[in-house]
A and B are shown apart, each in its own frame.
Chain A
Amino acid sequence: MADTGGRPWRGKAFGVTVESGTPLAGLVAAANGAESKLVEWEPVAEDVVGVDRIPKSEPLVDRRHPDGQLFMSIEQDSELGYRIAAPGYGAHLVAADGSLIRSAVPTDAGDAWQRLFFAQALPLAAALRGLALFHASAVVDEGRAFAFVGLSGTGKTSIAAQLVARGARILTDDVLALEPVEGKVRAHPGPARISVEPAELARLDADGRKRLGRLLDAPTEDGKAQLETSPAEGPAPLGGVFLLSRVPTAGVSVRRDPANRTQALLAAAFLGYLTLPQRLALHLEVCARIAASVPTFAVQIGEGTNAGETAEAMRGSIDRIEAGR
């Protein structure tokens, strides 16, 4: 890691500015004087975020592998905050107000710890700092953000990758930070990382792959190719939301203003375990603003339809929004 000459280094993602003693790979450097909400990051020894730091209680999250081995746990203490840990990926202690993340980084796991940091710890800090988080990927095109909401496996990232290959700019992969601003909804860039199914990556031509980013050495634990991307420089107004679902029929259909859009938006909250009143109220507020001012589409993706075909079908809707129709 590069030396910052004694000044704190600042990077940004999910609408917050991360301040640390050394540059953090995976974050885009923030300009000096950035007014975004601050989150301090501090690497610490394992005992600082060890299992005995949070008094024993029912964990908020307890995810396990099929064989019963722990995959990830999240525990909460009203004073210490939240402890996020995953064997092999380190542990993070996120302050109750999101202003500080202390991370115990495993010395023998390369950059694997960053995946837990970007997938859980930093989004949690952002939520605690007042951002509304959605389980979505997003791109920016012609100055507007377009979000893709759906269950895991519906193709959120693959569709975003296809649109980037066609000229859009990646905004975020998997977690989208939104905030209400002056009656509209603002979408913030995520970290400079994207994880793509190798088969979807192979479908892109050389120019498309180049636009998407640089392939990193280590694939993710679920076999996805990990790329270093260059997300949009700053936040963009949310221009459209696409609600993705898989259907057993053939082909792809794109339909505006589906009847279930309210429920789908409410259900797309990321970090469902976080039931703080202010967070729930913010999520409802953002969903209401989307319903009132952002075109929303149901995209039904049939069997055998690949992400390129889906992106092509959605392109017309994006073009109409950009043309003001």
Chain B
Amino acid sequence: MAAEGTVPGSELLGSRLRVPEHVVYRDFVSETVVLNLETGRYHGLNPTGGRILDAIERSETVGDAAEALAVQYERPRNEVEADVLAFCSDLLTRGLVELRPDG
């Protein structure tokens, strides 16, 4: 449960996420397709989702990824954080990202 006045799931901001070994993804022309090799299920991400996933992979923490995206797309950081947190929460639920053991 998020504290009043904070973005839901904001405790994730300091977390370190990674794409598990059993998940692979590839960029297509207008989407990113994520494949869970354990379930054989494909997941489609729109271009924004694909960019967030890339940023998560490249950044130390979820907060770092949100900051990089806010700068890159010239958007308010709190807005981007909300989008990134919601997205990460969804990916975690689907098992498409996981917390790093040291994260």
Interface size bracket, B side? 10 to 19
* A-contact 0/1 string along B6-46, CB 8 Å cutoff: 00000000000000001010111111010101101010100
Contacts of B42 in A (CB 8 A): 266, 284
Q: Does A292 contact B (CB under 8 A)?
A: yes
Across the interface, A280 reaches (CB within 8 A) one of B30, B31, B37, namely B37
Contact of A262 among B22, B31, B35, B40 (CB under 8 A): B31
Interchain CB contact under 8 A, B28 and A291: yes
Q: A262-B31, A262-B44, A266-B42 are in contact. Are A285 and B37 (CB under 8 A)?
A: no
> Within the assembled complex, what's the spacing in Å between the Cα atoms of A68 and B101?
52
CA distance A287 to B33 in the complex (A): 10
One digit per residue, 1 when the CB lies within 8 angstroms of any chain B CB and 0 when it does not, for chain A 254-287 equals 0001010111001000000001010011001101
**B72, chain A: closest CB distance, angstroms:** 23
Tell me whether chain A's interface is mostly helix, strand or loop, or mixed. Answer: helix
Interface residues on chain A, number (Cβ under 8 Å): 16
Q: Which residues of B contact A266 (CB under 8 A)?
A: 33, 42
Verify A275–B40 contact, CB threshold 8 A: yes
Say yes or no: A285 contacts B22, CB within 8 Å.
no
Q: Are the CB atoms of B37 and A262 closer together than 8 Å?
A: no
Whether A257 lies near B29 (C-beta < 8 A) is yes
Also in contact, A292 and B29, with CB within 8 A (given A266-B42, A277-B22)? yes
Residues of A near B44 (CB, < 8 A) are 262-263
* A135-B35 Cα distance, complex, nearest whole Å: 20
**CB-based contact B24/A284 at 8 Å:** yes
- Chain B contacts to A: CB under 8 angstroms: 22, 24, 26-31, 33, 35, 37-38, 40, 42, 44
7 example contacts (A-B, Cβ-Cβ < 8 A) are as follows A262-B31, A275-B40, A277-B22, A284-B24, A284-B33, A291-B28, A291-B29
Interface residues of chain A, those whose CB is within 8 Å of chain B, are: 257, 259, 261-263, 266, 275, 277, 280-281, 284-285, 287-288, 291-292
Known: A280-B40, A284-B33, A292-B27. 9 other contacts (CB 8 A): A261-B29, A262-B28, A262-B29, A275-B40, A277-B37, A277-B38, A288-B26, A291-B28, A292-B29
